[in-house]
Homo-oligomer: A and B are copies of this chain.
Amino acid sequence: MPPFRDPAPKGSLFDRLRGANEPVWLSYVRHDFVRRLAAGTLPEPAFRFYLIQDYLFLVQFARAYALAAYKADTLDDMRQAANSMRVILDDEMNLHVKFCAGWGLTIDDILKVPEAPQCMAYTRFVLEAGNAGDILDLLVALAPCVVGYAEIANRLVADPATRRDGNPYREWIETYAGEDYQQVAAKAVAQLDRLEARRAGSGRFPALVKLFAGASKLEADFWQMGLDAA
């Protein structure tokens, strides 16, 4: 079993935001949905409801990265955002399409499902924070998702309680623990540090903490939505 690899180095902006929000952060990354997914005991309807909503969520997150590309100050930040949008639209959504195909669902079927309030609340909160604020606000609101999934998956693969053989959710875990996704998360962590240096200072930290708290809470609600569907 590999040791836990933290996608965020000590002292990085992400690490400090997480540290300033410990209770809500733990309620998200150690949510029952996650534990049961790791144990392979999550009821299929819960995962299915979650995954379909997560597809609708990713449509909005692709829009959020488009907005980040618009709001970027440099060609590098623009290219990084454009790449994140591409990864979501071309790669990450494929995981969902594969799982859904296993249940006999096509993309058109998924796109007809109404967005759950929890999906709407989180995605619109992020997009609105990004419109009202700048690229740093937007990326801080996105971080609990982008970096959080990398942290969660790394915890699971390092945890002896995680079942591998016969776990129907193994592919989910391995996708997010995989090198490709970990690279995306590491780049997101580094970008936050660059943007903090350029657009912030200690005075802005409390406002960013509050934003991070709001987004983390809405992520925890999103897991709960899955559990409640079973």
Residues of chain A at the chain B interface (Cβ within 8 Å)? 59, 62-64, 66-67, 69-73, 75, 78-79, 81-82, 85-86, 89, 111, 117-118, 120-121, 124-125, 127-128, 131-134, 137, 196-204, 207, 218, 221
- Of B66, B125, B204, the contact of A78 (CB 8 Å cutoff): B66
Bound: A115/B133 CA distance, A = 19
Q: Tell me how many chains of this kind the complex includes.
A: 4
The 9 closest A-B pairs by CB, nearest first: A201-B201, A66-B69, A124-B124, A121-B121, A66-B70, A134-B134, A131-B131, A67-B70, A124-B128
Are A63 and B70 also in contact (CB < 8 A) when A86-B82, A127-B128, A199-B204 are?
A: yes
Q: Which of A62, A75, A132, A198 counts the most chain B CB atoms within 10 A?
A: A132
Closest B residue to A129 by beta carbon equals B124
Residues of B within 8 A of A124 (CB): 120-121, 124-125, 127-128
A136 to chain B, nearest CB (A): 8
Q: Which of A79, A198, A204 counts the most chain B CB atoms within 10 A?
A: A204
Residues of B within 8 A of A59 (CB): 75
A145 to chain B, nearest CB (A): 16
A-B contact pairs, 16 of them (CB 8 A): A62-B69, A63-B69, A63-B78, A71-B132, A73-B207, A75-B89, A78-B89, A82-B89, A117-B118, A120-B218, A121-B124, A131-B131, A133-B134, A199-B207, A201-B203, A201-B204
